[in-house]
Amino acid sequence: MTVHTPENIVFATNNAHKLEELREIVGGRLNVLSLSEIGCHDDIPEDAPTLEGNALTKARWVRERYHVSCFADDTGLEVDALGGAPGVHSARYAGGAGHDAAANTARLLRELADVPAPRTARFRTVIAYIDPDGREHLFHGKVEGEILTAPAGDGGFGYDPVFRPKGWTRSFAQASPDEKNAVSHRGNAVRAFTAFLLSDKPVHPSE
């Protein structure tokens, strides 16, 4: 363990799918705790206009209240035919306070019903990390692809059943966790973040 790596690091989420996916990506190289494991069950605000803003808001919120090294992520699906929507609103695209993946996907497919293929899109993830000294760092990940006309596969979560990565013949929901993590937006962001934490010398994180 290097000086860049805290003994325990908190991932500002109680989303079990996100936590499981991240732990698979880091492969035990980091001791990642969820919010529930530090006794936090609050609904953290996510009202910034950008992915970067939301990730920073969540990381700051946890650090200020629990005084731990922490990181947070925010992910958006950006569909070109919809002008980049749902984007920062991806988790609540169908409206309401909850994260209803089926309703979000149904709305997306309705809005794209008359759009011919390829309905190009991308997933973007931003990770905000606040180190033990209070410095803030951002890491980015992206994967290009397209939106299918109907869900395919029962794996993954969120919009995975309707997102097919560029060059693939299957959706993310039809891939194994290892296959998805090797190319995914979150996988790319987490690998950059992990490399920074485990480096022997400080490196400049992606902008």
- Rounded to 5 degrees, φ, ψ at 178 are -65, -40
* CB 127, CB 55: distance < 8 Å: yes
DSSP-derived letter for residue 115 is P
Active site residue: 73, 74, 131, 160, which one?
A: 74
* Tokens describing residue 42: 């609050």
Q: Find where tokens 């990940």 sit.
A: 141
Q: Which of 94, 75, 98 is nearest to 163 (CA)?
A: 75
Chain-centroid distance, C-alpha 54: 11
Q: Contacts for 172-177 with beta carbons within 8 Å, 24 or more apart?
A: 177/21, 177/24
The tokens for 202 are 């400080």
Return d(Cα 131, Cα 197) in angstroms, integer: 9
For the question of residue 74 being annotated catalytic, the response is: yes
Cβ atoms of residues 94 and 100 within 8 Å = yes
Catalytic residues: 74
